[in-house]
Structure 1
């Protein structure tokens, strides 16, 4: 790996809470000063009074060593599968020409936690987020704290993955313009202390357009094909929530399923997956630039199941290539 184990704290220490009432935290001048210049919006002010903060699920701890190791991060790339993000780590390493020290190989920084697999390749983090909003929510909380503790500036987050298309050909890359729930609401809803909290999920228009423009520039070249943008429906599960007929439970018929999918298409939804709502909602709330870039494995208007495993593997590489092109162009200007 790029990081020497000695550059990171052991990750086995527990942080200590400093018992202070929220009203006191709010009025503390030093904390107000610290939070006034943050690019991350709505950051938890209680973080300022933690002696230590152990990022449990990625096995890292707030420290000066962490700051030195991660302060250069500019891009955080997230995808569902640990294997896929390991592949992306090696791919982006070659694409940006990053050289590891002699005798050092890419290794999972978060191996001790056994929850997520994370790799650092110079200014790029590659990490898997698991399946669904709860899993990606945990990781986003700790990654946002990581870039805060490391003092990172102008960081862009990407979710790169696979999805089901709605009225688009398999192999199409969809850049999400806005994530919606199963009721077509562009809102990430979460129950906090017995109350529903709502966060908007519209994606950064400028970033979406920049990525689409790069996609069009390289369309039908270097493995990048059929790039578009549109709304993404984020479901809470893979089967009923996505209107499939092949789950263990199904209390609707084929006609009702098709009616729902046609309604999705009529509402400008281009694809369906399971993480975009939380991803866009939390990063939007934090004022961090972010984009969801997924390749469609099937057109749900024509069926539920992926036909070819080999074609699936080939399609999965397309978001890699598009994001790599964007990162390379950005690094040229920095």
Structure 2
């Protein structure tokens, strides 16, 4: 009976004046959460509904946006309820590293489409797309599951985290640092973040070389489809780098700047994805424009009635 009652509660100390502004926090975060869900879901629905978007490139974009929705859902409900779940850190990093693997799959798709257009239909089949999507989520989940297992029996000496949600800052409140866990953490970082980034840079370098030697039409096509992926990669890489480095270096950053930067990690990227793909991808932007016109027309008709 005593074991069942032996529950450890961890305080999230990264909030600024939580008691004073708790209702404002709730309203703002809830509004942003709904906005993120709506923006990402709209693009995903457009891709599902329109058959001309049933191509590998757009399927990968839909998967990336679904990943953003899941990524947001692992954090925002916990912020809204101010409740810490033991599985939050696992889900957070599983979906974060899945983002790199999905971007690597998208880079591979663009490489085949631009550099090997004749072989593209036979290589990038529906089966290939399905395998790449499953691996992007499954590989990161399996590797992070082992890390959680290694971390299960480690004792905590401090019950206050500096952040506003459970990330790798949890390692700083452990009584004794685990050498095995630290080594495995580096392995995960290299395997799920650095290697996909190097692969992406390699594929886009090859694309740039091919485009430089090709016609203006090929260059325009490459710029139209590849630029959004690169912008998303750069954006997400910066925030993940901050998330990892800020804890490892134990930088004594003031509470408010730390709070603002952490908010950008969970807000800016999930909102950035649907905006960049909705505006920069021509096929998606056309369907989005039609949808907005239809909504505006329907609103005007309802108002007149």
Q: Which has the larger radius of gyration?
A: 2
User: RCO (CA 8 Å, sep 6+): is it higher in 1 or 2?
Assistant: 2
Q: Is TM > 0.5 for Structure 1 vs Structure 2? A: no
User: Which TM-score band applies after superposition, normalised by the shorter structure?
Assistant: under 0.3
TM-score (norm 1): 0.25
TM-score (norm 2): 0.27
| Bigger fraction of residues in helix | 2
